[in-house]
Amino acid sequence: MATTRPITPCLWFDTEAEEAARFYTSIFKNSKIGTISRYTEAGREVHGRPAGSVMTVEFELNGQPFTALNGGPQFKFNEAISFQIMCKDQAEVDHYWNKLSQGGDPNAQQCGWLKDKYGLSWQVVPTVLLDMLTDSNREKSDRAMEALLQMKKLDIAALERAYEGRTPVGSGRR
């Protein structure tokens, strides 16, 4: 009987697969590098990579398996795919935001989204925001949404003030 395996995202890089895997595993707890496979002479006329260079890197972030592939420059990441990081408090939001945004695109930062130095998009989201946005009190959830739309990195205290009606919209952290 076959064992069901989790869905494993495969991230296509030009040549940075191992570097990126090491960068990501340095940021997330419960993370590790797994098997690193290398290109051989076989198929070189197709893949064009030097024998011995990294082909794939298996790694885990918070227990979620990923594969990084050095596939060449043909494909780039875009915002159609992003990874959500659900954070319990502002310290977690700050940690992930500050680490992942280093060297990334500052123009691609809004509403808790950022693009890292490899072009991969991340959503750094405090779990309390989901409660605010799904509150049955539409006035409160609308205020939280308006505050959210004014922010880059999310500021839980500012979101809570807006949600409770204690601050004007637009005063969140940018």
* CATH number reported for the structural domain that contains residue 42 in this entry: 3.30.720.100
Pair 54, 87 in one domain: no
In a domain, 46, yes or no: yes
For residue 122, give the 3-state DSSP assignment.
Answer: strand
Single residue among 44, 70, 96 that ends a domain in this structure: 70
Pair 119, 157 in one domain: yes
148 by Cβ neighbours in 10 Å (0-12 / 13-18 / 19+) ranks as buried
Pair 91, 158 in one domain: yes
The string of pLDDT tens digits covering residues 85-131 is 999 999 999 999 999 999 999 988 999 999 999 999 999 999 999 99
Predicted pLDDT of residue 173: 47
Pair 65, 87 in one domain: no
Domain that holds residue 141: 82-164
Predicted pLDDT of residue 125: 97
Q: Which residues of the chain have pLDDT under 70?
A: 1-4, 168-174
In a domain, 86, yes or no: yes
Predicted pLDDT of residue 48: 83
Q: Are 68 and 17 in contact (CB under 8 A)?
A: yes
| Residue 113 identity (one-letter amino acid) | W
Pair 52, 15 in one domain: yes
Domain count, the chain: 2
Predicted pLDDT of residue 4: 67
Pair 98, 158 in one domain: yes
Pair 91, 154 in one domain: yes
